[in-house]
Structure 1
């Protein structure tokens, strides 16, 4: 959404000022930090933005250059302008000054966080591992797509257009074997790269252990169908990315620890807040802490490996 906002201001604003360290961040984040002082907008720019919204009302077409600045689908882009159109019609009087139009755009769109690629319930393996797919429309991902995967995706689209679904399915299997997948997002086919995320600092009971099923269900409920913010710190020996996950502003590991559904994995993560959240859950005897001596999942796995 930050890129979308940058485009909306692209023809009528100078670039927003940043902090001394040169950090960028989304326009919304800077707006919330610095108010309107980092933005310069001409009166002509105000008219141009409103003109784009009115043009969308007549033609249902977003500005031609928008796709160069955002990775979201055409339908998502249209949704943004639809929201601007609805909000503008209800705003009395309409915004006239640069400050008024900037506030209007931010307040209308800053909570619009519909994901281009979402997490479904099947992507949650257990209470501490999630599989996500990142759209290759993202410039960083696009630069890494192997040529054979790109070719397979293009051939699959042609096969589907000719209703040759047997060939299309075979090509999709080739794409999946390469670590990618074609996803239907808002009626558009999008090539996405697969990532397995191991939640940093926690260890969930295995599925055969008490509360293993509950941990998986809770994690699924938290992340399925939502846009996630993932911060990667490392890679484990199984090739999984180890990181922190936030969903709608909620720190996922914190929620899981406070509900007593996972252990703090103190051998690999020394953050004191994680230890405190586990201790609080222990004191309240919630979740797996209802048992006096719950078995540690890492010890359970070790015993199984040693056939004990």
Structure 2
């Protein structure tokens, strides 16, 4: 009935307003209150400061499909008419449905908005993002540099890794990677005892002697290798490399923004094949290199998102300084702090205290 439909519309409008109010009250930091942690729940439905804007936008798109009404209050943030606003929601509704997977984070939602409303007035796009508490355009369309056509000066060799596993990211600048020993660079250097242990392990597993299989896997791991089991019970013998991202220094895990840096790096590389251009080893035996994921230069992303410092003592590339300066000027990531602590100073201080 007409009464039921009107009631449903009012209910949907109230829900959207409540979500945006929740963002305004609980997510935006104020001078008198510290910012919320990104994943701190705001209520019983799993909504967090990081996702409340996404939830509000998803709700409003659903509401628009039913009622053809745009949210109350949007006109205070944009310059175009409500008729133009309706056109935006029509486009966004289609784009949201076609997105696979649909946006789950504020970054994902902002990117979809910017790409869908490309060509519209800048003030409208920025106002729309502000209305939902989504990050501004310069933070959502980071197009990191691709893999260079030739090796940069100082690169000694290049690794092509197997997909990064769920526990392989140690912090915001360190990754454990595995390279298939069938790779020509690796095949000639695998110790004989490792080859033999891998064969024996495969036979033990075929006989369902899993205890012996675990024992042999441990022996292989101690030699710096690992058998990675596939879905068909086939195993890939791979060499382990610990990679230290060259030229950046992310906050340690126990520092402010340390967990955020680790999570961002994990989000970039998880389940992906990497290309690593290695310059050498550091004093901890880690391979120091430039890391590329699907053509994206990982160090660039970390610097431009304010989740790492330019480690100028070890790398003087001017583009690194520029990317750091961009994040600093935008006050994003660790640069939101007035005086962020330098990770190398933090490590020195904690080593002295532990001594």
Instruction: Please state how far the C-alpha of 1:186 moved relative to its aligned partner.
Output: 4.7
Tell me what 2:164 maps to: 119
**RMSD between superposed Cα atoms in Å:** 1.3
Tell me what 1:198 maps to: 244
Instruction: Please state how far the C-alpha of 1:116 moved relative to its aligned partner.
Output: 7.5
Matches within 5 A, 1:153-302: 153-187=198-232, 188-302=234-348
Tell me what 1:138 maps to: 183
Tell me what 1:95 maps to: none
1:117/1:185 contact within 8 Å kept: no
SS of match in other structure, 2:278:
strand
CA deviation vs aligned residue, 1:109-163 (integer Å, no higher than 9, x gap) = xxxxxx9821013000000000000001112211111011011001111111111
Over 6 Å off, 4+ runs: none
User: For the residues of structure 2 that align with 1:181 and 1:249, how far apart are their CA atoms?
Assistant: 26
- Give 1 or 2 for the bigger CA radius of gyration: 2
CA deviation vs aligned residue, 1:182-215 (integer Å, no higher than 9, x gap) = 1023532100000000000000101110000000
User: For the residues of structure 1 that align with 2:190 and 2:245, how far apart are their CA atoms?
Assistant: 25
2:161/2:275 contact within 8 Å kept: no
User: For the residues of structure 1 that align with 2:204 and 2:246, how far apart are their CA atoms?
Assistant: 41
1:116/1:185 contact within 8 Å kept: no
Instruction: Please state how far the C-alpha of 1:261 moved relative to its aligned partner.
Output: 0.4
When normalised by structure 2's length, the TM-score is 0.54
User: For the residues of structure 2 that align with 1:247 and 1:226, how far apart are their CA atoms?
Assistant: 7
User: For the residues of structure 1 that align with 2:178 and 2:206, how far apart are their CA atoms?
Assistant: 24
Structure 1 residues without counterparts, runs of 5 or longer:
1-114
- 2:174 paired residue among 129, 141, 156: 129
When normalised by structure 1's length, the TM-score is 0.62
User: For the residues of structure 1 that align with 2:279 and 2:189, how far apart are their CA atoms?
Assistant: 20
